[in-house]
A and B are shown apart, each in its own frame.
Chain A
Amino acid sequence: MDANELLAWARGPGFDIALIIFVAGMLLRLLEVISLGKKPDLSAPRGSGVEGGLRTLLARSLPRKAVFDREPLRIINGYVLHLGFFIVLFMYGPHIALFQSILGFGWPALPSGVIDAVGAITILSLVAALVFRLNNKVMRFLSTGGDYVAWAVTLLPVLTGYLAYNHLLLPYTTMLAVHLLSVELLMVVAPFSKLTHMFSFAMARWHQGYKAGQRGVES
């Protein structure tokens, strides 16, 4: 299999397989959670659960001062990592073209020079995340193999995308194929790793916020 064939497989059947595993896997994971259900709260409510749920869903995107003051670098790096990843994923022209082919609609892209810079920042941020994980005693204590796998499969698409765009390390066609394969690896791994948080965070925030809203307490 030469580079062109590899690219063709990654673009065709490879991508389709990964997409099916990603979608089916995530649906399964979310169903596993939702199907457990929850009992209604019988205590006399003070406020609205729905309001509380929606509020926490949004408000929890900002850190509380009490914890930000203790770990500013880790928290800022968390923002850089997530925002950087979203920008290169959703705002790069060729990516948008792919989404358009699946979803049927697109949106304006950022200039590729900007994406290139954001990609570099995201890679550095991911490296910093690993450094934090290895050096902070709580993170090191909590970390499992799954955390490092999730880190690696997140880094690879950003790194290979950056290398392909800048024509580094491997011939362009080969690197592009590797980039696509790394994305597919991420899609296959995501439902079976902590990367499920990309969806389940919303459920978690909702549940805590709903309860807090009903009780009229902060969340």
Chain B
Amino acid sequence: MSAPSVEKGIQFIKAQIDAPIASFFSACVHCGLCAEACLFFTETGDPKYTPINKVEPMRRIWEREFTLFGRLKSAVGLAKPVDEDTFAEWETLVYDGCSLCGRCSLVCPVGNDISDMIRKIREGFAAAGHAPEGLIGASTRAVEIGSPMGVKLPAVMAQIKHLRDNTGLDVPVDAKGAEYLVLLSSMEIMNFPEYLEAIARIMHQAGKTWTIASNAFEATNSGIQIGVSDIARQLVLRVVEAAEGLGVKTVISPECGHAFTAIRWDGANLIGRPYKFEVKHILEVLDEFVGQGLIRTEGMEEARLTYHDPCQIARKGGVVKQPRNLLNRIASNFVEMQDTGEMNWCCGGGGGVSANERADELKLTAFNRKKAQLQALGVDTLVTACANCRLTLEEGLEENEMDIPVVGLTEMLAEYLVEDDKEKA
């Protein structure tokens, strides 16, 4: 890639503008309701975080490049510029002040998909050299090492060995013709090894063949977060080639929000062709297993608990009823937050915010929304299905001295599998 520059940034933004984006800009009436849906506005009260304002540089480029009136304005010197200062000023709005949660898109009266616009404008910011250090580092590691957190295969193999030794459960690696290819997120390898154990246990009881791919174990896609399609494509291709090489029927996206968006929705578009396999989120697979009677549970969690919907899985992924089906099976005291499902509030750390150290303080301010939701419910346990949400939630809870454990739904389900099968394993 050539060196970043303002010109390149503008070119990249221009290249993102299609009929949907143009219709969004020409429909906006500056009603400001998107701000009311955005936790970066509601928690800071600063109008600069109004979602549609975050794409103002893109609007300027659209107006001057793709509208007659804008071209006339530009010709007589009335158009607002997009220059180095613009990129510098908007960088923190585009990356730090947006978790790509997509709540704004759902409330816009004229139907603008503002979240998608912000995802797209990031392509220009990255090309102009105005992406946060943390995300640049993660993306570089993802390409060079194979994982944004720098996780290498030996770390995964060590986890697998540990799991085999302790539980006797098998974790197949590079098993050709397996039905499922299981992907992990970096955080599941580094922070939450419970996930892999839960998968091994569940697959064993369900009697399904599955595998990990030694050349594509990682689902995390920092290219999506930073907004560099080249990197995103490279990371998706790794998984596609592994999945098609092993001949699996289904790729399972882990408990990670944006990994699901990357592999389920963006991937085929990035590589320019449909996949030869299906992609499902782990919660979709678990709900199917339960529905087909392949896995049986016994006992109920009695703690008062609630479920935090990861934005990319619920609002943008359509996986809303599955976690509820699962929780109602294994938890006797499951309560819902006020805004939940497709209208959930983000944890504050999505869309690359948690990988961007500069945004730490803002992220914790944004967390106040989740804090208020949890305080209103008075729960003992918080369940979620995204390792990134989980870390952000844990950090926020700790910062606020709230003693609420955060649990992944997959591992929680695995704990309630029928005991016989646990023993057999």
Contact = CB atoms under 8 A, between A and B. Distances in A.
Interface in A197-219: 197, 200-201, 203-209, 211, 215-219
Contacts, number: 172
Contacts of B21: 36
B23 A33 contact: yes
Contact of B23 (A28, A43, A46, A200): A200
Contact of B279 (A32, A44, A56, A57): A44
The residue among B23, B28, B269, B275 with the most chain A CB atoms within 10 A of its own CB is B23
Chain A facing B: main interface SS: helix
Nearest to B112: A204
Interface in B102-143: 105-113, 116
B318 A216 contact: yes
Interface in A175-213: 192, 194, 196-197, 200-201, 203-209, 211
A37 interface: yes
Interface string B232-246: 000000000000000
B285 to A, nearest CB: 15
A56 B28 CA distance: 16
A46 B22 contact: no
A51 interface: no
Nearest to B107: A67
B22 A32 contact: yes
Contacts of A204: 20, 23-24, 26-27, 108, 110-113
B27 A41 contact: no
Interface magnitude class on chain A: 35 or more
B interface: dominant SS: helix
A43 B318 CA distance: 14
Given A142-B50, A204-B23, A215-B318, A44 B275 contact: yes
A74 B32 CA distance: 10
A101 interface: no
B52 A142 contact: yes
Interface string B254-267: 00000000001111
Interface in A16-63: 28-29, 32-39, 41-44, 46, 56-57, 60, 63
A75 B36 CA distance: 12
B106 A205 contact: no
A197 B112 CA distance: 11
A38 B31 CA distance: 27
A147 interface: yes
Contact of A200 (B26, B108, B265, B318): B26
Given A29-B26, A200-B26, A208-B105, A43 B266 contact: yes
A37 B269 contact: no
Interface stretch (A4-12, A113-121, A132-140): A132-140
Nearest to B26: A200
Nearest to B80: A144
B36 A70 contact: yes
B100 interface: no
Contacts of B111: 56-57, 60, 201, 204-209
A2 interface: no
A63 B317 CA distance: 22
Nearest to A205: B111
Contact of A43 (B108, B269, B320): B269
B32 A138 contact: yes
B18 A37 contact: yes
A51 to B, nearest CB: 14
Given A71-B33, A219-B106, 14 more contacts: A32-B26, A41-B265, A42-B268, A43-B264, A60-B110, A138-B47, A141-B47, A142-B30, A194-B30, A208-B20, A208-B108, A211-B20, A217-B317, A217-B318
11 contacts: A37-B18, A37-B19, A42-B274, A64-B343, A67-B36, A138-B35, A138-B41, A142-B50, A142-B53, A207-B20, A218-B106
